[in-house]
Structure 1
């Protein structure tokens, strides 16, 4: 029998426990230790080429979070949750971003930068001829990071609510993202569900496995 760090049934239990939390308990806060783990789940998220075309903005300012409610379709999770993360793409990714990444790779792996030239060329050629618009490609990477954040949160019994129901233009404006070269893609409040959130007890509605998974 192959041993695992976490029991398979425990993983499924936590994934079933997770739901898109509609109402958070504003009095319950994520501890610094747990938050550090969640923060690192974002830092460690995989991306195409490992390029990390993103930045994650944690909105701590209560007044700023209150201003975001009207630009979030009135969803109060953005103020009730313990933490609010705005996941954003880096706009206009270019060769300079690749060079920055290659320099970091050379430093971390302690290899000559010249030995990475071939890989650098591959990535730069991709940026010149992407299969989709670069902003769309970057957004896909952001969703990978979102998935990792939500899974890590579920394993720690931290509630989340991924949100696309917001006005990115207003978010960019209020948070000063545009001048930094970023644009909001998706928002994720994190915290602890309120005891009276009626959605917590609802069973998940999922199609049968055989309908969504096919072995070829």
Structure 2
């Protein structure tokens, strides 16, 4: 199937079959799609925490707006962004870039100096607003890859960031949760949305040509 056909197929599943689990190989393909997502200056300022452990999911349910979805899905992917930029983080990323490309460290020094100056003039809140936006590109690619594999997904912002961050120890890692992606297989009988038509506004309204 084409990408557009896969996107027509998928929807935000409202009920998962708890007996069906996503295979490790398929999960890795979804995570790889997210890892390959473009990010501002190539900094990849976020991480994905993949939660399969049922006991851990049960703890996270306390902070979920749709607890049954979290409880019954196969995996919960937590997209968590850096809480701030720092010179050390920027240098670490670019040292990795130059090492992989077999270039001398500091090869991009003039550019990283600009980044450090720009972010150095901003607040931590401004930093997080920027890093959080980067996660959504990866979230979209993860959903597209899941759809290609005919794995259901549900993106979610309806959860307590404080609860999830505390349970997963994200603040100690310099991370703050942004969104969740539930993965698994729909329960046809309980997923009330699966029998309904997919609805989007018409193309002529959606696209403004000038």
Please confirm whether the aligned pair reaches a TM-score higher than 0.5, indicating the same fold: yes
Aligned residue among 161, 169, 173 for 2:166:
173
The aligned residue for residue 44 of structure 1 is 36
Give the Cα separation in 2 of the matches to 1:73 and 1:31: 26
Unaligned runs of 5+ in 1: 1-6
1:98 paired with 2:90, answer: yes
Give the Cα separation in 2 of the matches to 1:40 and 1:64: 23
- The alpha-carbon deviation at position 199 of structure 1 amounts to 0.6
Unaligned runs of 5+ in 2: none
The aligned residue for residue 195 of structure 2 is 201
Q: How does 1:134-153 map to 2 (within 5 A)?
A: 134-153=127-146
The aligned residue for residue 34 of structure 1 is 26
- The alpha-carbon deviation at position 157 of structure 1 amounts to 1.0
Give the Cα separation in 1 of the matches to 2:168 and 2:34: 19
* 1:71-105 C-alpha deviation (Å, 9 max, x unpaired): 10242111211111111011122111100011011
The residue matched to 1:206 in structure 2 has which SS? Answer: coil
- The alpha-carbon deviation at position 36 of structure 1 amounts to 1.3
Give the Cα separation in 2 of the matches to 1:128 and 1:68: 35
Give the Cα separation in 1 of the matches to 2:84 and 2:6: 38
* 1:190-216 C-alpha deviation (Å, 9 max, x unpaired): 011112112112112211101111222
The aligned residue for residue 78 of structure 1 is 70
C-alpha change, 1:166 and 1:38, in structure 2 (3 Å) is: same
* 1:136-187 C-alpha deviation (Å, 9 max, x unpaired): 1111001111111111111111110001110001111111111111111101
Q: Is the 8 A contact 2:154 2:181 kept in 1?
A: yes
Q: TM-score, normalised by structure 2?
A: 0.93
Q: How many residues align?
A: 208
Give the Cα separation in 1 of the matches to 2:93 and 2:121: 19
